[in-house]
Structure 1
Amino acid sequence: MYTTLIVDDEQLMLRYLEKNLNLLSPDFCVTGIACDGLEAIELLEKQSFDLVITDIKMPEMDGLNLAKYIGDTCKHTKVIIISGYNDFEYARTAIKYGVSDYLLKPISDNSLVETLSSVKEYLKEEAKNKHSPTRDYASHFTNEEQLKNTFLSAIIKNNQDDIQPLYSFIKNKDMIFTKSYSCILLLSIDDLSLLLYDKGIYYSSYRYELVRQCQLYCKNHDIGFTYDSEGYPILLITEDSEDQVLLLANSIYKDIRDNSWDNNQVHITGAIGCLVSDTMKLSHSYITAMESFALTLKDVKSPISSNHFFSYQNFIHEVHALCEALYYDYVSKNNIKAASNMLLYVNLFEEKINTASILKYGSYLIRYVSRKCNIKSQFIRCAFNELMKGINQIIVADAIDKKHAQELLLQAFKALDHDKILNTLPEASRLIENAKEYICTHYEEQISLMSVADYLDINPTYLSNLFHKVIGEPYTKYIARIRMEKAVLLLKSNPNEKIYVIAEKTGFVSAKHFNHVFKKFYGVTPTEYIKG
């Protein structure tokens, strides 16, 4: 599934693509939406996207400048531009910035499907060149262990380009990859114990250490091993009978759990996927193991078995459905819907609501949405820190009920979308003062947020955040307010001045636009204002 960011200031187009992209091409999933280029950059700094579909004409930053930014900073992200302008210069600039395709409005479903198909093939080829071993397997792999682990990884990731040649190579060498029955053992750090042990500070180093220890254990015990994109260790358990597989999986889990950390403060959770007799179905065993982690919310003892998975399928389905709904709320930035869905999520708590249950359910939701949207680690940490901050406030207030739990989880959930943390206040205040000074001396010119940011030598997204945080309003509203204040002074000092002259002196390209903005601010036209 390829993650996709939609960027368009037209709400109809934005919502159409958001709701229909996956239907038109099931390989693409919308994991972010933005109304202009600057919003898109904010998301690109927080999440990783395989594809960006952007309109060309937007306020603040247009599609071409966004494409240039992506080409400079996100080398592996593909860009499709949608434009209502059949202009050769636009197309030529788009090609210069490495845009994958340039579609003219109104776009048809067929043309979009065709373009997405081309992008998919490009992404597949790029991933194959980046991750796949060379086709000269005999010289590439130095031992059977490396070959088997690569084959396991290809199966889990469903990488068809590698599965067939690796399978043939293993068969030709008479290697035994799996016995009669197999399953996947998936391991993870228990977030609840980690949050409590480290007092709310989330360290990814624990996860790297778990992968390292599992890798070493599997090497010493001749067990197939790989890990997924989230860093979950994946162990291949295979034996000649179903009972032997389960006994071995339990034994391996206990060995790794008991020898991971001396202080025993950080716990290891494990989930055993369904048993399979067909090697190619190991990906299904991996999926059931991953979904079984939802049962940590019910305190099912690790390692969670496939029997637990089938016994609690209704609960797993409910958790998955609500996490999917909240993930969609995150993408669409629908805070009202998120609040109602969060209350439904809190209603899943079966035990009395307490700090432990809030931490468990909060951690699971943060992980779920972060995994779906490829959210970067620093923003995941923000969400965990917000979760712990809320827990500490509840402990101090000594008050906890469903409403408190809903509000707390909602705050942690929203923290995934928080703006980048600003630098120290003195620096922020200094930059804003310099920006205000520049605007007040250049308001009569066609200055944009980018031109002010260039003058200050800072990132435009960072400057946009500063306006929101320090001044309390976006840049566009601030400069419009300054221009209106200057316009009123000019009108008062010279009531007989032509309106188009006032418009020019306050940075407007036309008297019509000036009149429109003036009436929006003061409720009357400039002429009516002078008469009044």
Structure 2
Amino acid sequence: MNILLVDDEALELDQLEYIMKAHFSNWTFYKAVDASIAIQLAKKVKISLAFLDIQMPGKNGLELAKELKKNYEMDIIIVTAFQSFEYAQSSLRIGVNDYLTKPIVESELLMFLEKYRKWSTQNDSIQEVLHIIREEFHEKLSLGLIANRIHMNATYLSRKFYEEIGIGFADYLNTYRLENAKKLLIENKNLSMSVIAEKTGFNSQHYFSAIFKKQFGMTPSEYRTNPKRKKDHIT
């Protein structure tokens, strides 16, 4: 699991890494002293959990958290010396997962991290599958192909995926593709149905339209022109 630590004080970064590394030796840590470096790291590495200091030069931790939440799948923890209710409220509105205050107490941090201990190697594999789907949903994907890429048995991966996510691989992939199709239907009204089908990974326009209607009770064209449709968000 990849962990991102962001703080403009190098000592704080080293302390966090030192505490966690002693108890989570299989985690990989990436450190950044400002938001710009953090964003570059997030583009290159699949980050699972990020600890962000609020007070930093340039873009602050809350602004960084908002950008990371918008573009990436990760849990975010705000860390700050300021015990401000306003900061806590802002963090929750952005969608961060928790809020810790400095100075960091090792026993409290480890107690907090217990819920992440279950992110085992198996869980990391499922996270990798989800990452592949979200980055390559428009390509030809199958459980077998992905299983080969991450060096797992396809039958075992299928079972673990269902256990972790609560839905089968194929259903999850189609649902994710359909959510992206809805976004394209609204934001790119000049695109034809065949182009949207291709851009979202469906083999044909006919299959795309059929599965869309089965899922949402209306055709893609009807959805595009339906004034009563709700604004949907990919999760």
Please report the TM-score for the alignment, with normalisation by the length of structure 2. 0.51
Structure 1 unaligned residues grouped into runs of 5+: 133-147, 163-532
Deviation for aligned residue 1:35: 0.2
The correspondence of residues 476-495 of structure 1 with structure 2, limited to 5 A, is none
Deviation for aligned residue 1:131: 5.8
Counterpart in the other structure of 2:94 = 97
- Secondary structure, in 3 states, of the residue corresponding to 2:78? strand
Which structure is larger by alpha-carbon Rg, 1 or 2? 1
Instruction: Determine the C-alpha separation between the residues in 2 that align with 1:109 and 1:161.
Output: 35
Instruction: Determine the C-alpha separation between the residues in 2 that align with 1:90 and 1:73.
Output: 22
Matched, 1:3 2:2: yes
Please report the TM-score for the alignment, with normalisation by the length of structure 1. 0.24
Name the CA shift for 1:36/1:130 in 2 (closer, same or farther; >3 Å).
Answer: closer
Deviation for aligned residue 1:37: 1.2
Instruction: Determine the C-alpha separation between the residues in 2 that align with 1:131 and 1:60.
Output: 34
Counterpart in the other structure of 1:69 = 67
Instruction: Determine the C-alpha separation between the residues in 2 that align with 1:43 and 1:130.
Output: 17
Instruction: Determine the C-alpha separation between the residues in 2 that align with 1:125 and 1:99.
Output: 21
Counterpart in the other structure of 2:50 = 52
Question: Matched residue pairs, number?
Answer: 142
Name the CA shift for 1:113/1:151 in 2 (closer, same or farther; >3 Å).
Answer: farther
Name the CA shift for 1:59/1:130 in 2 (closer, same or farther; >3 Å).
Answer: closer
The correspondence of residues 29-428 of structure 1 with structure 2, limited to 5 A, is 29-30=28-29, 32-74=30-72, 76-121=73-118, 149-153=153-157
- Secondary structure, in 3 states, of the residue corresponding to 1:110? helix
Structure 2 unaligned residues grouped into runs of 5+: 131-151, 164-235
Higher relative contact order (CA 8 A, sep 6+): 2
Instruction: Determine the C-alpha separation between the residues in 2 that align with 1:35 and 1:69.
Output: 17
Instruction: Determine the C-alpha separation between the residues in 1 that align with 2:16 and 2:127.
Output: 30
Matched, 1:14 2:18: no
Deviation for aligned residue 1:103: 0.6
Contact 1:24–1:109 (Cα < 8 Å) also in 2: no
What residue identity is the alignment partner of 2:50? V
Instruction: Determine the C-alpha separation between the residues in 2 that align with 1:29 and 1:85.
Output: 28
* Superposition RMSD in Å: 3.5
Contact 2:126–2:161 (Cα < 8 Å) also in 1: no
Name the CA shift for 1:15/1:129 in 2 (closer, same or farther; >3 Å).
Answer: closer
Name the CA shift for 1:111/1:46 in 2 (closer, same or farther; >3 Å).
Answer: same
- Secondary structure, in 3 states, of the residue corresponding to 2:103? coil
- Secondary structure, in 3 states, of the residue corresponding to 2:82? coil
Deviation for aligned residue 1:39: 1.4
Deviation for aligned residue 1:121: 4.6
Name the CA shift for 1:119/1:64 in 2 (closer, same or farther; >3 Å).
Answer: farther
What residue identity is the alignment partner of 2:154? T
Greater helix share, 1 or 2?
A: 1
What residue identity is the alignment partner of 1:78? D
Contact 1:21–1:29 (Cα < 8 Å) also in 2: no
Name the CA shift for 1:6/1:125 in 2 (closer, same or farther; >3 Å).
Answer: same
